[in-house]
Amino acid sequence: MLRVIGKLKNLLLALVLLFTVTTPALAAQVFVNGEQLNVSTVNESGITLIPLRAIFQSLNAIVNWDEVSQTVTATKAQTTVKLQIGSSTAYINGQAVTLQVPGKIIKGNTMVPLRFVSEALDANVKWDGVAQTITITSVSETPIEQATTEKIDNINTQHNNATEWKPIWEKILDRTNIHRVWFWKDKQFAIVRGEERLYFKEPDNRDWSSKVYADNIYLSAQNAHFYIYGVALTPEKMYMSIFYENENKLLVSNDGIKWVSDGLNPPSDYYRYWITAPKNKTLLANSRGLLKQSLNGGNSWNYDITSRCAPWDNVTFMGDKIFAVLDNKLKTSNDLEDWQDTGFEISDANICKYYIGNIFSEESIIGKAVPSIDYPKDNTVVAFNPASTGSVCISPDGGNNWLTLKKDSFKWREGTVPSRITSVAVSNYLILAGTFDGVVFYSVNKGQTWQKTKINADVLDLAIKDNIALAATNKGVYQMDCTNLVHSLSSQ
């Protein structure tokens, strides 16, 4: 009798395990904001699990994974979600939430409860049992049907005392200024206009050095007629177009200190401004109104006779797309041959062209576009035109449609004349916009709302990396640590 009871217990245990085992969901299709995800869902005790990265990224969240603690952190706008593998407790903006099923790793994929993640990131979830379809829709998603100009009035005009710019390089500047700053590899760089020198600094070093050499010659305006036209970056190399020893040269460097021109054959008529595409190592030069391309890092150049720009127009790469201004319209191409109109037309009479290009230039009318390096998941593109009106342009959909935030959108101080926006920088959470009167606006929600900080100098350029911001001014280089700012605003 006992033997029979034992067999029955084993049978019951087997049945329990059979019906509680994690099994693939039956042909469940997952749609996020109208697009189907190519993922496999898993059913555990009636709870649908889905690969974490797919669902987080499809909902435009920034994902960080801590291998040591097996913890996932997802940030979207002002919401931060933390979830540890194996734990039945997750945290939304610091508040504990109990999970029906702990997150787990299945076949190398981190699987998390679908409904919890979707609702935590402000999304609606619907299940159609007949069609076996899961539909997820972001509550905050607003489709953009056409290019528009939008005024943003909710600017906080009070200075934020939690953010402070500190000078890290003060220079006595007569007819010079710190014209450009940027991060590259393990160094910070700056161009001093007037001296015509390229400076660099190690992160842990307080002093800036101008000991830059081209073809083993100290590069300085003191020993030759010298002028820096522009600088362009790839992950491996830095390129610099200069006028040196009575000729135009295209230099290349692996460290930003030692430069060589040997082996490079730039176009004979290239003129000042040019640009790189780090993804495929293609270089583009805007040469007296004609686009040129180099597929081998500048060793040889081809003309693109199908797309002629007027002089001073520029092009830029954003993801897989190329943008250029043709006939007063911002157009895009994937191959430099077939150009499509983005619907963004330049109508301001004070601006002859909308200048766009992720280059450095001494011309104040030339703009800089920020390829969506730091917003890769949601495909946000930020650009600006620091000409007479000074405007920031934001495209939520990769450059197909644009929202223009002009200077009259900001609530400027009464009785003062607003100066134009001169520069823009973008990080994981921040958009920075600097002005000539020393105001630096910042936004943590893609330009929907703005706050501001103040520098007692003219802001000519901005750069940001790892929450450290640099500002090039007419009084030197200033630095601000944005870590606490990002954390405080993200948790609001």
pLDDT, tens digit (0-9, with 9 covering 90-100), for 136-190: 877 644 333 333 333 334 444 444 444 688 888 876 554 457 878 888 888 999 8
Which range is most confident: 283-287, 384-388, 455-459? 455-459
Average pLDDT over residues 261-266: 62
**Cα–Cα separations (whole angstroms), residue 464 to 214, 270, 474, 483:** 27, 30, 19, 11
Residue-wise pLDDT tens digits, 10-58: 444 443 333 344 444 445 788 887 777 777 788 887 788 888 777 777 7
**Residue 213 scores a pLDDT above 60:** yes
What the block records as the tokens of 354 is 């909308």
Which range is most confident: 349-363, 423-437, 444-458, 466-480? 466-480
Q: How many helices (H) and strands (E) does the chain have?
A: 4, 44
Distance in angstroms (rounded) separating the CA atoms of residues 115 and 112: 9
Residue 412's pLDDT is: 36
SS3 of residue 246 by DSSP: coil
* pLDDT tier, 5 (very low <50, low <70, confident <90, very high otherwise): very low
Residue 145's pLDDT is: 33
Which range is most confident: 342-351, 383-392, 405-414, 461-470? 461-470
Average pLDDT over residues 218-245: 70
Residue 239's pLDDT is: 79
Average pLDDT over residues 449-468: 82
Percent of the chain with pLDDT over 90: 1
Contacts of 468 (CB under 8 A, 6+ apart): 479, 480, 481, 482
Residue 126's pLDDT is: 78
Element (H, E) at 6: helix 2-20
Average pLDDT over residues 214-231: 67
**Residue 245 scores a pLDDT above 60:** yes
Mean pLDDT of the chain: 65
Residue 17's pLDDT is: 37
The CATH topology of domain 24-138 is Copper Amine Oxidase; Chain A, domain 1 (3.30.457)
Residue 383's pLDDT is: 62
Q: Are 400 and 414 in contact (CB under 8 A)?
A: no
154 compared with 336, residue with greater pLDDT? 336
Buried b (16+ CB within 10 A) or exposed e, 149-180: eeebeebeeeeeeebebebebebebeeebbbb
Q: Do domains 24-138 and 148-490 have the same CATH topology?
A: no
CA angle 216, 220, 226 (to 5 degrees): 105
**Cα–Cα separations (whole angstroms), residue 272 to 115, 146, 267:** 54, 34, 11
| Stated pTM of the model | 0.56
Average pLDDT over residues 323-339: 68
* pLDDT tier, 411 (very low <50, low <70, confident <90, very high otherwise): very low
* pLDDT tier, 403 (very low <50, low <70, confident <90, very high otherwise): low
Residue 340's pLDDT is: 80
Percent of the chain with pLDDT over 70: 49
Residue 265's pLDDT is: 57
379 compared with 123, residue with greater pLDDT? 123
Residue 2's pLDDT is: 43
Average pLDDT over residues 353-374: 32
Q: In what order do the strands lie in the sheet with 238-244?
A: 217-218, 213-214, 258-260, 247-253, 238-244, 226-233
Residue 83's pLDDT is: 83
45 compared with 317, residue with greater pLDDT? 45
Average pLDDT over residues 346-369: 33
The answer to which of 75-84, 364-373, 413-422 has the lowest mean pLDDT is 364-373
**Residue 194 scores a pLDDT above 60:** yes
Residue 344's pLDDT is: 58
Residue 204's pLDDT is: 75
Residue 372's pLDDT is: 34
**Residue 346 scores a pLDDT above 60:** no
Q: In what order do the strands lie in the sheet with 89-92?
A: 62-66, 71-76, 79-84, 89-92, 95-98
CA 490 to chain centre: 17
Residue 86's pLDDT is: 87
Domain 148-490 CATH class label: mainly beta
* pLDDT tier, 408 (very low <50, low <70, confident <90, very high otherwise): very low
- Domain ranges in the chain? 24-138, 148-490
